[in-house]
Chain A
Amino acid sequence: MLRWIMGGRGSQGTIEKSAALCIGEEQPKNCFTELQVLKGHFDIVRFLCVHCSVWVFCVTLFQTGERLVELRGHTQQITAMTTYTFIKGERPHTALITASSDRTLSLWDPDSGNRLQTVSDLHSSVKCLLVLDHLDVWLSGGNELCVWNRDFQLKCKTVHHRDAGITAMVDLPKNCVAASMDKEIMIFKLNLSEAEMSILAIHHLADHQDTIRSLININNELFASGSHIGELILWDTVNWTIQAYEHILWEEPAGDGQSEVRIGQQKQSEMSIQHMYSDGELITAAVGSGLYVYNAVMKSIVAYRKVAHDSDILHTELLDNGRVMSCSEDGSIRIWELQDLPLAAEPASTGFFGMFGTFGRSGKQAGAPTKKLLEVPGLRSLELIGDLIGHSGAVQMFVSFGVKGLVTCSADHLLIVWKDGKRESQLRSLALFQKLEQSGGL
């Protein structure tokens, strides 16, 4: 069977360009040989949220495929949700906070499905939520940043930003929060020393040239942001300086062009960094329909794949076993493996992107000419080892449970649980003998 090894041979490069990879049906490394479809939603499923192996979805909760609770109450689409664990009566409680376009915030009890708290008199709809466990408060970001305590009491808020809203937030040390707002990253500081809690914008980071699409924490020292035109910036969490700057352009090498589309005419969205994920060392970024793996510690590129999907990648994750998984608007989920290249030199010829590494706050070099990527030692390839086809709409998000399986949600109103068929079969056998034993049959 054909197996496209990315960047392997020059002859395959053309095929790679013409379309996204097609792995075919022979996928020996793909362990997801069993699936279970969960129905229950009547609209696009956009968020998955995990806590303690209970799978919590935007309005419906599932566990082991059974619908547990359905949470109803919001009149419009849900824009953000997060879990919130608080200590109440010496027992930790997990609740679910949801924000919706109907300008309400709600706190749900996932066990009973009750709406515990709700706030409805918001000036704008909330786009992101962040829980600060160590302070026992949570923040909501919209056109203003609000700080709430566990009883849904507004502690303080920032000024109202008329034209731009906060799209993402990350938690920083020293009671600071970084929030992305259009092209800027604002650093807010929570002031807890006074009687009244207050929040203040203490810094602006305006190094991005376009809208920031994604903002994540990498580790204690670094956080990363990605913009619409493919800028990836790593920041220091303490002094907010740029640690690394990458501009991913996905440009084709001039010499290798045969009949490929001119990159110059490409839409910018094809370089947009829609999603990033980090395990503390490696970052995966969904750049257009391509994938990009970056080592945040070494500040070097690890592997990339220009066309990983037929359409934009919406979510990507690093798996425990060194694999990368991505899901896309084309309805498929793909599993990639980081492999050492047989010849280190070859992949460079197929890809072309600018890379700037500058250190220091003033190191921003806007519009720097992209130059051909030099040989990067240790560059590896992303090899497609399997794809999961099942959804008939864009796969919005997925949550991996390691060997237990994978849950994907999609615009086709379905959730699919993918499992390792062999493992499940063995588990069922074990359960079978357990049941026999219980009934005294053994």
Chain B
Amino acid sequence: MIGSPDVVAFTKDDDFGDSYTDPCLLPAEFSVPLFPHAANANPWTKTSYAKFSKDFILISEFSEQVGPQPLLTIPDDPRVCGTFDLNYFSLRIMSVDYQASFVGHPPGCSYPKLNFVEDSKVVLGDSKEGAFAYVHHLTLYDLEARGFVRPFCMAYISADERKIMQQFQQLSSGFSKASESLKSGNRKAFANELEKKLQDLEYTRTVLHKETELQKMNNGCYSTQVIEKANELANVEKSIYEHKDLLRQIMSYPNKKMDTDYVQYEPEKPVETNMVDHTFSSTHSISRDKCVETDNASQQLSYTPQLIKAKSAKCFDKRLKTLEELCDSNFFHQTMDHLNLIEKTFRGDLCFIYTSQIDWALLSKQKISSFLFEEERHGEEEENSRNLYDTDHNPHIALPSLSNLSGEPMSLESYATCVEIGHHKLELESMEGPPESSTSDITQETSEEAVDTETKGSFSSDRSIEALGNISPANPNGFVRRSTNEVCTVTLSEQQGEILPGAAPDKMSPSLGYKLDVYTADMFETENLVQIDTACCIGQDGFIYEEPLPVPVQQCCEDTVVKQEPLSLLQGDPALQVDYIFGESGLPLGPSMGLMLPEESTSVHSEEMARMNIEDVSDCTSYMSTSTSSDRAGSPFTYGSLITVKQKKKAGNSALRFIRQYPFAQQAIFCVLSGQTLVVLGAEEGTVRKLVNALSIFVPNLGKYGETVQPWLTTSFQLTDLQRWKLIGLQRVASPAGSSMLHSLSRYSRYIGILDCDNKTLRCHPYRGTVLGHMADHRTQIKRGSTYYLHVQSMLTQLAAKAFLYTFCHHVHLPINTDDQGSVELRRTNFLLQLGYTEEESKIIQFLSELIKQNFFQWPLKGLSQSVFSFSYTTSVLYKI
């Protein structure tokens, strides 16, 4: 069992802090140069002695031929890993796979049975290597593998132990998705493989049948050859039966999955395809495959029947399938994409991750105004936050465990039920057991299985020993073997003192047995491995248990110097948990609710937080359980041509150049911000596009795909185009077509600002004020585009915040009595003046406010179509350089 608590001790600053020299550890996102003094250069980096330069993801396999071996790393760059010994580390992470993916003969049936086991998630540390890892174990099915299963693991390896610990939930949910995607692909591939095998077998049967008949004819009924053939035939028949059953089992998986209500939100694309695939294959593909493969049949059936029959023989020289072959190629690449995304998400310092997570969480709660200047979030983060959100707002999952924590063994069982029910639902159904009490049922079940397999001693005997071993340490409460998969469950039990220190080695021993069994040839190494296991393999409990309680936010604020990284979302500021967005139910709760109700919600949340602080673990559990159950859905990643922060930062570079180059940049920005369509007119496409790109960071409500910007237009535009696009790059042409374009320019001149990049002139409404002066100072000291972008972003956010305030201050807008239009107008103007805005800046705020209102009305719909086009009758001024 993973209970060894020694890892935290390895990470004291005083031991290794001095030796910090590796500047490569710095996350790419930090452009600030490190404080040269090595000691506490980055006050939050506690580890510095790792042999790899930055975090990476490692996928390893427990190969039945060569043992643990690394398969690939993400990013796939040897420099990342440096001198870090991947082989050694794979050995270590694979050795903690204590789960039992068990294929055996359950009682009452004589053919193998697939178990859909849960993945296990552990945290593992290696003090010598300075590496800490979140390890996610999973098993994939392979018809040719021992027991049909091949254990794999994905590990997120970082030098920062705290990062792993603090981001455990996020990592877990991310990897669960990746794993789910791999497994879905694997099920599909496995089913295909089974179908092919079945066809082989059926063909073999017919061949054998013919041969038998022939021999009967030749040699008579009772000759030895005939009997042999008859036996073979019987074996093939049995084999066919078994394979059919396997196929049925694997096919039935997704349907069962859909039955569980624990999938909290709709599984997205991959699962859908998965579903489709499966339903399709289950209904049609057999027949279709048959048709297709009649041609290929001769090639495939080049096996001799004996070869097929020898399926259970251990064949060490045969080539094992690669991971990509094991999973459907599409799914594999999807998973890789997802893992890359995980790698990107968790790249950098923990502090940075925290900040961006808080950032995202806050933003997602401010959807009512964040659409103005914030880019759309990636699916990943959105879902992470949604998970957090769910757990925040669905106390019915968290609460049982919380209340049970005062906990007696009784409550543990009920808790286990609560946690496990989602996971076991599948198994319960497949086992046809009465679902009244999952724990007892399954315990009984599994032990029965174990006993059964033990007595039968079939081809998967080693597995069964392992399973038995896992159970034999006699979980005192009849604690389920599976629940050990959930690290947090273990944590809980440890909290309650249920599992004694001795429990961990106890739990380790079966895996020792297992490994010995497998590696009888290499005794020494296995021995070694087990020692490491007990020393370094730790569950999350160890960490959390000894983790100092999170310091409440208030204390942080007292210090003028921030000594601690911001609290993570889970422990964080209760204010973060106040929701500023419309209710989940589709009924808008309204943003002002967020404004009005902080007392109430804080009280709830602070209470919750207090509990969290005390029973940190338990909360963790609840988060875990929800996230794992909801994360069953495969990874939902689709890549569109989204406007990303990266692109915007690049645009920041051109924006910086623009404000340095053009003294009237402020006016142009004002034009864009106040909703007047800005037409960038020029003969050369590149210049125009560059300018449009530079100015696009100022466009409010840019849209997910930047649909309010038209970077290059070669025809004349209409009024409706002005309504749709707020920034247009227009080609200047000296032809009849050009004249019509100029005609439309002059015709709609009151609605547009025209930036002529050939003559370097700007014609638009004049701007007077200071706000944009700060935003676009052509003598700015900012050197880098991304820095400038952030500067602009912060100022735009201020504007958006003011617009939000302006929109939702009802004393400004509501008439005091019925015929009160005049005073409303006056109050609105005064309100903005009091905020310190000039008349022109008020126009910006008003425009933003109108956008917010429209967005509010169109809330359920995604995206904001600007159905109304506002303008003002003001004389334009021509600016020249």
Contact = CB atoms under 8 A, between A and B. Distances in A.
A47 to B, nearest CB: 21
Contacts of A428: 850, 853-854, 857
Contact of A34 (B591, B749, B870): B870
A24 interface: yes
Interface residues of B, number: 44
Nearest to B867: A36
Contacts of B876: 25
Interface in B845-881: 846, 849-850, 853-854, 856-857, 867-876
B750 A389 contact: yes
Contacts of A34: 868-871
Is chain A's interface secondary structure helix, strand, loop, or mixed overall?
Answer: mixed
Contacts of A36: 867-869
Nearest to B825: A422
Interface stretch (B332-340, B726-734, B806-814): B806-814
B723 interface: yes
B867 A33 contact: no
Interface string A304-329: 00000000000000000000000000
A35 B596 CA distance: 35
A26 B849 CA distance: 24
B846 A425 contact: yes
A119 interface: no
Given A36-B869, A39-B720, A65-B867, A429 B813 contact: yes
Nearest to B850: A425
A338 B724 CA distance: 37
Interface in A136-178: none
Contacts of A419: 868
Interface string A33-45: 1111101000000
A195 interface: no
Interface in B811-858: 813-814, 821, 824-825, 846, 849-850, 853-854, 856-857
Nearest to B872: A33
Contact of B589 (A25, A433, A440): A440
Is chain B's interface secondary structure helix, strand, loop, or mixed overall?
Answer: helix
B868 A389 contact: no
B588 interface: yes
A62 to B, nearest CB: 13
Contacts of A28: 873
A433 B810 contact: yes
Interface residues of A, number: 40
B869 A392 contact: no
A429 B744 CA distance: 34
A426 B593 CA distance: 21
A380 B266 CA distance: 70
A439 B868 contact: no
Nearest to B856: A432
A432 B849 CA distance: 11
B587 interface: yes
A364 interface: no
A424 B846 CA distance: 12
Contacts of B344: none
Interface in A394-442: 414, 416, 419, 421-426, 428-433, 435-436, 439-442
Nearest to A65: B867
A30 interface: yes
Contact of A33 (B590, B718, B871): B871
A169 B145 CA distance: 94
Contact of A26 (B720, B868, B873): B873
A76 interface: no
Contacts of B875: 1, 24-26
Contacts of B870: 33-34, 421
A435 B813 contact: no
Interface string B557-582: 00000000000000000000000001
B249 interface: no
Interface of A: 1, 24-28, 30, 33-37, 39, 65, 386, 389-392, 414, 416, 419, 421-426, 428-433, 435-436, 439-442
Interface of B: 582-583, 587-593, 596, 718-720, 723, 744, 747-750, 807-808, 810, 813-814, 821, 824-825, 846, 849-850, 853-854, 856-857, 867-876
Given A390-B748, A421-B871, A442-B596, 17 more contacts: A25-B873, A33-B870, A33-B871, A36-B867, A65-B867, A423-B821, A430-B813, A430-B814, A432-B808, A432-B853, A433-B810, A439-B587, A439-B590, A440-B590, A440-B593, A441-B588, A441-B591
28 contacts: A25-B749, A25-B873, A25-B876, A26-B874, A33-B872, A34-B868, A34-B871, A35-B869, A36-B869, A65-B867, A386-B873, A389-B747, A389-B748, A392-B744, A414-B720, A421-B870, A429-B807, A429-B813, A430-B814, A432-B856, A435-B588, A435-B857, A436-B588, A439-B583, A439-B590, A440-B590, A442-B590, A442-B592
The 7 closest A-B pairs by CB, nearest first: A441-B590, A429-B813, A27-B873, A436-B590, A441-B593, A26-B875, A34-B870
